[in-house]
Structure 1
Amino acid sequence: MVDLVLKGGDIIDGTGSSSIAGNIVINNGSIISIDNDIELEANLELDVTGKVVCPGFIDIHSHADFSLMADRRNEGAIRQGITTLVTGNCGHGPAPVNDVDLTKRNTVGFSESWNVDFSWNSFKEYLDALVSPGISANVAPLVPHGSVRLAVMGQSTAKPSTSELEEMKSLVQEAMSAGAIGFSTGLEYSPGMYADEDELTALATVSAKYGGIYASHIRNRGELFEEAVDEALNICRKSGLPGQLSHLAPRPYAEDGAFDRVLEKVSRAREDEGLSIGIDTFPDIWGPGMVVALLPPWVYEGERNEVLQRLASPETLEKCREHFSDPTNYLLRLGGLEMFYLSSSIVHPELIGKNFVEIGESFGCDPVEGIFKLVLADGKDFYNVMLRHIFATPKDLDKLLMDPYCSVESDGVVTATDGPLSNYTMNRSSFGYTIRFIEEYVINRKIFTLEEGIRKMTSLPADSAGLPNRGRIEPGKAADLVVLDKNNLTDNSTNEEPNAYPFGVELVIVNGQVVLNDNLRTDISPGCLATQ
Structure 2
Amino acid sequence: MLDFIVRNVQIVDGTGSPWFIGDVGVAAGKIVKVGTNLTVTAKEKIDGTGLTLTPGFIDIHSHSDFSLPIDGSAESRLLQGVTTEIGGNCGLSPAPVEPERLDMLKKYAGFLTQDLAWDWRSFGEFLTAVETAQPAVNFASLVGHGTLRVAAMGFADRPPTELEMNHMKRLLYESMEQGALGVSSGLIYPPGCYSNSDELAEVASVVAPFGGYYETHMRNEGDDIIQSIEESAEVGRKAKVPVQIAHHKVVGRYNFGNSKYSQARIMALRSEGIDIVCDQYPYIAASTTITTIFAHWAHEGGVDGLLARLINPETRARIKSEVLSNMDRTGRRFDDILIAGVSGEANKRFEGLTVTEAAAQAGKEPCDFVMDIVVEEKAGVAVVTFGMDEADVKHIMVDPLTMIGSDGISVPLVGPGKPHPRTFGTFVRVLAKYALEDKIFTFEEAVRKMTSLPASRARLLERGLIRPSFAADLVLLNLNTLADRATYADPRQAPAGICKVWVNGQLAVSDGKIAPTRAGQVLRLCR
> Given the alignment of the two structures, is residue 224 of structure 1 paired with residue 224 of structure 2, yes or no?
yes
Name 1:488's counterpart in structure 2: 481
Output the CA distance in 1 between the equivalents of 2:113 and 2:263.
37
Name 1:355's counterpart in structure 2: 354
1:483 positional shift: 0.6
CA contact (8 A) 2:257 2:391 kept: no
CA contact (8 A) 2:463 2:471 kept: yes
1:129 alignment partner AA:
A
1:359 positional shift: 1.0
1:263 positional shift: 2.0
Output the CA distance in 1 between the equivalents of 2:9 and 2:339.
42
Equivalent positions of 1:139-154 (< 5 A) are 139-154=139-154
1:472 positional shift: 0.7
Long gaps (5+) in structure 2: none
Name 1:265's counterpart in structure 2: 265
Deviations 1:43-86 (A, max 9, x none): 33322221110011111111111112222110010000001111
Output the CA distance in 1 between the equivalents of 2:253 and 2:432.
29
2:288 alignment partner AA:
G
> Given the alignment of the two structures, is residue 294 of structure 1 paired with residue 286 of structure 2, yes or no?
no
Name 1:465's counterpart in structure 2: 458
Q: 1:109 to 1:506 in 2, by over 3 A?
A: farther
CA contact (8 A) 1:92 1:106 kept: no
> Which deviates more, 370-379 or 511-520?
370-379
Q: 1:28 to 1:133 in 2, by over 3 A?
A: same
CA contact (8 A) 1:327 1:333 kept: yes
> Given the alignment of the two structures, is residue 497 of structure 1 paired with residue 490 of structure 2, yes or no?
yes
1:284 positional shift: 0.6
Q: Secondary structure at the residue paired with 1:172?
A: helix
> Given the alignment of the two structures, is residue 475 of structure 1 paired with residue 468 of structure 2, yes or no?
yes
Name 1:54's counterpart in structure 2: 54
Equivalent positions of 1:402-481 (< 5 A) are 402-418=398-414, 422-481=415-474
> Given the alignment of the two structures, is residue 101 of structure 1 paired with residue 100 of structure 2, yes or no?
no
Q: 1:445 to 1:257 in 2, by over 3 A?
A: closer
Q: Secondary structure at the residue paired with 1:46?
A: strand
Output the CA distance in 1 between the equivalents of 2:511 and 2:336.
40
Name 2:214's counterpart in structure 1: 214
Output the CA distance in 1 between the equivalents of 2:64 and 2:311.
30
1:314 positional shift: 5.2
Name 1:397's counterpart in structure 2: 393
Name 1:375's counterpart in structure 2: 374
Q: Secondary structure at the residue paired with 1:435?
A: helix
Output the CA distance in 2 between the equivalents of 1:201 and 1:493.
39
1:32 positional shift: 0.7
Long gaps (5+) in structure 1: none
Output the CA distance in 1 between the equivalents of 2:154 and 2:136.
34
Output the CA distance in 1 between the equivalents of 2:524 and 2:57.
15
1:445 positional shift: 1.0
1:316 positional shift: 5.0
2:54 alignment partner AA:
C
CA contact (8 A) 2:108 2:302 kept: no
CA contact (8 A) 2:53 2:475 kept: yes
Q: 1:508 to 1:108 in 2, by over 3 A?
A: farther
> Given the alignment of the two structures, is residue 12 of structure 1 paired with residue 18 of structure 2, yes or no?
no
CA contact (8 A) 1:467 1:531 kept: no
1:311 positional shift: 4.6
Equivalent positions of 1:10-409 (< 5 A) are 10-98=10-98, 99-107=101-109, 110-112=112-114, 114=115, 116-252=116-252, 259-273=259-273, 275-302=274-301, 304=303, 307-308=306-307, 310-312=309-311, 317-327=316-326, 333-347=330-344, 348-379=347-378, 382-383=379-380, 385-409=381-405
1:321 positional shift: 2.3
Deviations 1:149-202 (A, max 9, x none): 110011111111112111111111111111111110011111111111111111
1:26 positional shift: 1.1
Q: Secondary structure at the residue paired with 1:247?
A: coil
Q: Secondary structure at the residue paired with 2:367?
A: helix
CA contact (8 A) 1:84 1:530 kept: no
CA contact (8 A) 2:59 2:86 kept: yes
| Dislocated runs of 4+, deviation >4 Å | 253-258, 298-301, 303-316
* % identical equivalent positions: 32
1:202 alignment partner AA:
E
CA contact (8 A) 1:334 1:390 kept: no
Alignment size in residue pairs? 521
Q: 1:303 to 1:266 in 2, by over 3 A?
A: closer
Q: Secondary structure at the residue paired with 2:372?
A: helix
2:405 alignment partner AA:
E
> Which deviates more, 390-399 or 165-174?
390-399
Output the CA distance in 1 between the equivalents of 2:311 and 2:10.
59
1:2 positional shift: 2.3
CA contact (8 A) 1:6 1:24 kept: yes
1:430 alignment partner AA:
T
Output the CA distance in 2 between the equivalents of 1:79 and 1:71.
15
Output the CA distance in 1 between the equivalents of 2:331 and 2:74.
33
Output the CA distance in 2 between the equivalents of 1:467 and 1:70.
25
CA contact (8 A) 1:94 1:106 kept: no
Output the CA distance in 2 between the equivalents of 1:498 and 1:205.
40
CA contact (8 A) 1:221 1:254 kept: no
Q: 1:476 to 1:107 in 2, by over 3 A?
A: farther
CA contact (8 A) 1:93 1:103 kept: no
1:276 positional shift: 2.2
Output the CA distance in 1 between the equivalents of 2:455 and 2:400.
14
> Given the alignment of the two structures, is residue 514 of structure 1 paired with residue 510 of structure 2, yes or no?
no
1:250 positional shift: 1.9
Output the CA distance in 1 between the equivalents of 2:261 and 2:353.
37
CA contact (8 A) 1:222 1:252 kept: yes
Q: 1:256 to 1:18 in 2, by over 3 A?
A: closer
1:415 alignment partner AA:
V
Output the CA distance in 2 between the equivalents of 1:365 and 1:43.
65
Name 1:3's counterpart in structure 2: 3
